[in-house]
A and B are shown apart, each in its own frame.
Chain A
Amino acid sequence: MSKITVPIGPQHPLLKEPLSFLVSLEGEKVIDSTLRLGYVHRGIEKLAEQRTYIQNAYLIERICGICSHIHSTTYCQSVEALLKLEVPKRGLYIRMLLCELERIHSHLLWLGVLAKNIGLNTLFMYAWRDREIVLNIMEEISGGRVSHAVNIIGGVRVDLNEKHLSLLQKSLQELNMRVDEILQSIENDRSFRARTRNIGCLSLEDIKRYCVVGPVARASGLDIDIRRDAPYAAYDELSFEVPLMTEGDVWARSILRILETIQAIRLCTQIIHNLPKGPVSVSAPRRVPAGEVVSRAEAPRGEVFYYVRSDGSQNPARLKVRTPTLTTLITLPGQLKNMQLADVSAVIAGVDLCIACGDR
């Protein structure tokens, strides 16, 4: 049989962002695939060297629209470490609250996109309808649905009052009920299992060789979570579980992400019950003393890594960002080998790509 190349090109209904995939087929079976990134490369690391630290807080949020708050949290953490600032506890708790809300919204978004890709449109509608609850909360707290601009160097710029806390409590209860419903309906659903079971498997050895992070790694049995292993913000004061599965296929990744969403709702409830009193920020000087710092955080897709070097001026000398999507992209050609063409959509959706993060 002769080989055909199918381009899953920059514009494709499966992809929300431009990414070029050339899939070589023999009949219906995928033999090989190549990836081409760079359509969304905006040169953020170079731009960051030309802006001040305060202006960079606005730029860093726009690396990715889905995980914007975690990028700005990691950035502000690194600059605060260079300045040796101690952020007040209330500020750290509000940061964590938005991190967890972002995790919930990202996982529900991903669930809808996966459902749309494999043909379950109703699940897409339900997941995104429930996501609106989270976006409402984020809009009440910060003023923006997608981009919040809550972090400043030295803390956060918003505070929670009684109205916010009662809205949060009511909405989290409703969200908990709805996410439980979603988990019950898809965990044992035959058509969902048929589309996702034994598709795109990654073994624990592959995960270690390619240094994969995030839910994709946890679904294959690797127990890593930066919130537990190297707690940042105030995660060492909260209790949560890190779900772990061993099957390594798209089904395991789906169930794992829904379990993580339930844990995130649990974390949000703990945060609003234990919110300490006090100020939410401290003032920060404009010039950052010379030094180097490395900062990690747990984004919805895995470990986000920042390296900042300062030379004593108002602009950073070097800002390096490594996002979790780069680690999963490198495994895609291996996952697609020997798959049927019809399963390519499930595999691509299953790894939760965020090309804007990967290309920067």
Chain B
Amino acid sequence: MYMNKTMIPKVLRWARQKSPWILHFNTGGCNGCDIEILSLLTPHYDVERFGILKESSPRHADILICTGPVTQQVKPRLQRIFDQMPEPKWVLALGSCSCSGGIFSGAHNILGGIDKVLPVDMYIAGCPCRPEAIIDGIIKLLEQVQ
């Protein structure tokens, strides 16, 4: 059996959709959304049944999940992490702070939401987001991959 050229992209797309690896980066948030992301890995929500694995290095990840508003100090590091991720990659802005700066917008050290620095593919609102909303957001993002 041989794989012709049209089958390989289909297989790759199927693999990316069935097993997205996420990288979580807190760009200045209060921790509320971060602990809800960690709750996803626990037996109660168990996000591994969707194939989602929390990765440690940007070079292994497909989806970058950012929480918190972007502070001035974190901006170049966020840019560097995004550049280190291999294509194709997606960015998810989690929580009201990363969507628009949230309750901290207007402060002297805050630039705004994640979209001031990176192209965002999915916004999930909430302060903090519920884990069910995060799973819903990731599944909807994966449907876009098709």
A65: which of B69, B73, B128 is its contact (CB, 8 Å)? B128
**Interface SS majority for chain A:** loop
Q: Which 4 A-B pairs have the closest CB atoms?
A: A65-B32, A13-B56, A65-B31, A43-B107
Complex CA–CA separation, A128 to B25 (angstroms): 20
Residue A257, interface by CB 8 Å: no
Residue A304, interface by CB 8 Å: no
Is the beta-carbon distance between B26 and A18 smaller than 8 angstroms?
yes
Closest to A109 in B: B35
- Given A42-B71, A146-B36, also A11-B28 (CB < 8 A): no
Is the beta-carbon distance between A18 and B107 smaller than 8 angstroms?
no
Is the beta-carbon distance between A147 and B127 smaller than 8 angstroms?
yes
B109: which of A13, A43, A58 is its contact (CB, 8 Å)? A43
> How far in angstroms is the closest Cβ of chain B from A202?
25
A-binding segment of B5-13, B37-45, B117-125, B138-146: B37-45
- Given A42-B110, A62-B103, A64-B31, also A132-B44 (CB < 8 A): yes
**Interface SS majority for chain B:** loop
Complex CA–CA separation, A128 to B40 (angstroms): 10
Residues of chain B lying within 8 A (CB to CB) of residue A44: 104, 107
- Given A16-B34, A146-B35, also A42-B109 (CB < 8 A): yes
Is the beta-carbon distance between B128 and A18 smaller than 8 angstroms?
no
Residues of chain B lying within 8 A (CB to CB) of residue A125: 42-43
Closest to A16 in B: B34
Residues of chain B lying within 8 A (CB to CB) of residue A59: 103
0/1 interface trace, chain A 187-205, chain B, CB 8 Å (1 if under): 0000000000000000000
> How far in angstroms is the closest Cβ of chain A from B13?
28
Is the beta-carbon distance between B74 and A10 smaller than 8 angstroms?
yes
Residue A320, interface by CB 8 Å: no
- Given A17-B34, A39-B73, A147-B127, also A47-B28 (CB < 8 A): no
Residue B98, interface by CB 8 Å: no
> How far in angstroms is the closest Cβ of chain B from A252?
25
Residues of chain B lying within 8 A (CB to CB) of residue A39: 27-28, 71, 73-74, 77
Residue A329, interface by CB 8 Å: no
Residues of chain A lying within 8 A (CB to CB) of residue B88: none
Contact surface of B with A, Cβ cutoff 8 Å:
23, 25-36, 38-39, 42-44, 56, 58, 68-69, 71, 73-74, 77, 81, 103-104, 106-110, 127-128, 130
Complex CA–CA separation, A39 to B72 (angstroms): 8
Is the beta-carbon distance between A18 and B74 smaller than 8 angstroms?
yes
- Given A40-B68, A128-B42, A132-B44, also A64-B30 (CB < 8 A): yes
Is the beta-carbon distance between B56 and A145 smaller than 8 angstroms?
no
Is the beta-carbon distance between B26 and A16 smaller than 8 angstroms?
yes
Q: How many residues of A sit at the interface, in one of the four size bands? A: 35 or more
Residue A354, interface by CB 8 Å: yes
Contact surface of A with B, Cβ cutoff 8 Å:
9-13, 16-18, 38-44, 46-47, 58-59, 62-66, 68, 109, 112, 124-125, 128-129, 132, 145-147, 354, 356
> How far in angstroms is the closest Cβ of chain A from B114?
14
Is the beta-carbon distance between B32 and A9 smaller than 8 angstroms?
no
Complex CA–CA separation, A10 to B79 (angstroms): 12
A–B complex contacts, Cβ < 8 Å, 29 sampled = A10-B77, A11-B77, A17-B31, A18-B74, A39-B27, A39-B28, A39-B77, A41-B73, A42-B71, A42-B104, A43-B104, A43-B108, A44-B104, A62-B30, A62-B32, A62-B103, A62-B127, A63-B30, A65-B29, A65-B31, A109-B35, A128-B39, A128-B42, A129-B44, A145-B130, A146-B35, A146-B128, A354-B31, A356-B31
Is the beta-carbon distance between A42 and B69 smaller than 8 angstroms?
yes
Is the beta-carbon distance between A66 and B39 smaller than 8 angstroms?
no
Is the beta-carbon distance between A66 and B77 smaller than 8 angstroms?
no
Complex CA–CA separation, A46 to B44 (angstroms): 39
Complex CA–CA separation, A41 to B74 (angstroms): 10
Closest to A12 in B: B56
Residues of chain B lying within 8 A (CB to CB) of residue A146: 32, 35-36, 128
Complex CA–CA separation, A146 to B34 (angstroms): 11
Complex CA–CA separation, A111 to B127 (angstroms): 25
Complex CA–CA separation, A208 to B27 (angstroms): 33
Residues of chain B lying within 8 A (CB to CB) of residue A109: 35
Residues of chain A lying within 8 A (CB to CB) of residue B68: 40
Residues of chain A lying within 8 A (CB to CB) of residue B38: 16, 112, 128
> How far in angstroms is the closest Cβ of chain A from B1?
39
> How far in angstroms is the closest Cβ of chain A from B53?
12
Most buried by A among B34, B36, B73, B77: B73
* 4 other A-B residue contacts (CB within 8 Å) besides A41-B28, A65-B31, A147-B127: A13-B56, A43-B108, A66-B31, A128-B44
